[in-house]
Amino acid sequence: MMKVAVIGAGVMGSGIALCSIQAGYPTVLFDVHPEALEKGITYIQTQLDVAVSKGKTTTEKAAKALSLLSTTPDRSTLVADFIIEAVLEQLPIKRELFGFLETINGPQTIFATNTSSIPITQIAAALKHPERVVGVHFFNPAHIMKLVEVIKGVATDPAVAEKAFAWSQSLGKTTVYAADAPGFIVNRVARHYYVESLKALEENTASLESIDRLMESSGFKMGPFKLMDLIGVDTNFSVTSSMFQQFHYDPKFRPNRIQQQKVEAGHHGKKTKQGFYKYD
């Protein structure tokens, strides 16, 4: 059975780890912060309890899934067949991480990145074996959202992409291939859901509550400000900033000062108990 390692014990990384163990893969969850690992374990246990209470799984299956999960704060032990990172959306961090992992793993290990917007080609370019890097982009919350984008960089071995695609499908995901273009498919299409909503707020066209209600009444499951709080206001801002740069500073992708102020104030959404809304 393929061993999986998930790097980053935030909501996204924990959600990916949850998907992995539910599919029967021995999975190790890594984070440099022990308290983050504790929160990650609590999150996974809570989601399994919810699934049991809703009849989506059984107590026995939930216990079996948990038995496949381990954690570590020591990255020198991250030797696995399939490694996926869900760390900060910053190119230097991802490059350094994969550069290190390349030195301790064998030639068959697949390195997957959950990046939302950074080109796979850029991440892989600094490695000795860029053909082993592939994008596997989940959506938040990872254990609920069905869609996963698999992205091949210029150097990605087609066989690596096929294995990543098959792994995603084995988790029960609806998996699609996407080009290594800014924002891939979903973030490219959805970016203006956030940008235009922020612009409307900035121009006092309507309150954020009204904008959210309007979009939800139009058929969206969640308004843009609620969704940014769920994803992480900081993460969403980083993705917008990255795409603004990749599109050569096209004004239609310009990040908004209101969102920047939220990030600078530490109001990152649900994970900090305050974003555009407050959470008790």
Q: Please identify every residue annotated as catalytic.
A: 116, 137, 149, 187
- Name the DSSP letter for residue 254: P
Structure token digits, residue 74: 């020591």
Name the nearest CA neighbour of 8 among 31, 33, 35: 31
Q: 6 forms bridges with which residues in the sheet?
A: 29, 84
Scanning the structure block, which residue is given the tokens 């990605």? 156
Distance CA 37, CA 70 (A): 10
Give the 3-state secondary structure of residue 157: coil
* DSSP H helical ranges for the chain: 11-22, 34-53, 59-67, 91-104, 120-125, 158-170, 186-202, 208-217, 224-231, 233-246, 257-264
